[in-house]
Chain A
């Protein structure tokens, strides 16, 4: 349609006409070129380099890597660190489940009963984001530590035994993950529930649905896209997280993120680290793909 109208702008006649037309045709590409190039060179190309790195063989002594098309590295690394993969899966799943269970009621409450204080409650949900991720986790270490004020109090009042500890256990890691990623769960849920048309709910009540039925058959199904988004936005980062494990989990319960970080930054085993990253990326891509397949790749933008 726009091409049939020569140009909007009265001064561009004659020679500059064709230039304006070309400019118009090129403009979406020119506008997206800088960001597109940046993402291509610093996001997509690195992922391919990592893929190729996982096929190389590196000598740990010199740190030099040679392309050997070593397809065996991937299964080798996976079998080597199977336990860490399982731990990550378990911890991330527990944290995500806890977050979903905690977030749903509060998201529901803010959306349906928040009234004019909705914005205040949303800020309260986002409060952890105003403190740096590392410091948040450090404060939990401080709170949960053996001589911290919480455990000292519990020990002194004989509520727990003298050698009771939280730090260094899987529970501490799960608690840290659940705390750090709670806003990632609560916000998508809130957006999804807030979007539910109240008249649909009223209709359900008019049709003699009791509260349970209205919840199970109206609210929950309509919130499913939000639940899916919340799951994705919580589970994927929690699965790859290593900060919580390193600060709160001590040396036990190593997660796969810790292994990847050590392979790259301490052992300089780039091939091994790259193989594990490829597996981690593949797991996430399956989730992302499933989401895009069911709800469309733009749908997640509404939740972030």
Chain B
């Protein structure tokens, strides 16, 4: 899922492929045909969503209709006409920004500690690594349910605060892993050079370490933002009555989907793709 690091890896290695003719033929016809089919399958529902966000509604109820009634920009013009949806969306944005900031700072510090210090000087490193591993692999519903148990046990009212607590919790491990992948590539002697030139630890961190690990930190931050804004399962357990975007959409669409949901989906999709492309160019420049 860490797109940037995966791509870096793929970009570094050059193709050393010089297989036999038969392998090449297989690679030229059957595999590409199949792969393009899979890509079509992955894109198909997104295309449907975008197309039907331009669909006219003929019935009185403003819900997406299953048949094509003609092209309209109405839903883009009236994007904010469903009050619950708009406020849920802004709530999600605020939540994603706040939890991104916390998760990025905490995750980066942890990543630095994990890369810098060996087991002898950092007792508990193994335990932390295992906790991160379980945190990433554990089913989300278990984490959500157990958080609900915590909040109920200590009588903590559910709302924005509990959402932030939960979202930072499940983002930290992803940020740490992303930043750490970047950090392990990095040359410690640059830092020692800074010390030798009389820089103190704070200056060294600010002027040498941080700029070097910045692409990794940004990739981690993007991931934390994406995880937070898309999260449904955990949020559904800990949101109480303050429903973020996915929870609101889920609740409301059990009776019918307002066309604005497709508009929001299409816009978020476009913004996300733009960010991904930018982050790839940024990470390429840094390499």
Give CA–CA (A131, B276) in the complex, Å. 13
Given contacts A43-B131, A243-B233, contact A127 B43 (CB under 8 A): yes
Q: Chain A 1-41, CB within 8 Å of chain B: the 1/0 string? A: 00000001111000000000000010111011011101100
- Which residues from B are CB-within-8-Å of A241? 141
Give the residues in chain B near A239, CB-CB below 8 Å.
Answer: 139
Interface mask (A137-156 → B, CB under 8 Å = 1, otherwise 0): 01110110101110010000
Known: A28-B117, A260-B141, A270-B152. 18 other contacts (CB 8 A): A31-B112, A31-B113, A35-B176, A39-B169, A42-B147, A46-B150, A49-B146, A105-B34, A126-B276, A128-B46, A130-B273, A133-B230, A135-B249, A199-B16, A260-B145, A285-B138, A300-B133, A301-B133
Give chain B's interface secondary structure class: helix
Q: Which residues of A contact B58 (CB under 8 A)?
A: none
Q: How far is the CB of A123 from chain B (nearest CB, A)?
A: 6
Q: Does A298 contact B (CB under 8 A)?
A: yes
A226 to B200, CA, bound (A): 43
- A292 CB within 8 Å of chain B: yes
Chain B nearest CB, measured from A289 CB (Å): 9
For the complex, give the distance between the alpha carbons of A287 and B201 in Å.
Answer: 42
B48 within 8 A of A: yes
Q: Determine if A131 and B46 form an interchain contact, defined as CB atoms under 8 angstroms apart.
A: yes
Q: Could you pull out 5 A-B pairs where Cβ atoms are within 8 angstroms?
A: A10-B198, A123-B273, A130-B276, A139-B45, A233-B137
CA distance A124 to B230 in the complex (A): 19
Query: Do A132 and B246 have beta carbons less than 8 Å apart?
Result: yes
B72 contacts partner chain A, Cβ-Cβ < 8 Å: no
With a CB–CB cut-off of 8 A, which chain B residues contact A114?
10
* Cβ of A264 under 8 Å from chain B: yes
A297 touches B129 (CB 8 A): yes
- Which partner residue on chain A sits nearest B10 by CB separation? A118
Complex Cα–Cα for A73 and B59 (A): 51
Q: Nearest chain-A residue to B175 (Cβ)?
A: A35
Chain B residues near A72: list those with CB within 8 A. none
* Chain A positions near chain B (C-beta within 8 angstroms): 8-11, 25, 27-29, 31-32, 34-36, 38-39, 42-47, 49-50, 53, 102-103, 105-106, 108-115, 118-119, 121-136, 138-140, 142-143, 145, 147-149, 152, 179, 182-184, 187, 190-191, 194-195, 198-199, 201-202, 205, 211, 232-233, 236-237, 239-243, 257, 260-261, 264-265, 270, 273-274, 277, 280-281, 284-285, 287-288, 291-292, 297-298, 300-301, 304
Given contacts A32-B110, A35-B110, contact A236 B135 (CB under 8 A): no
B116 surroundings in chain A (CB, below 8 A): 28, 31
A292 touches B265 (CB 8 A): no
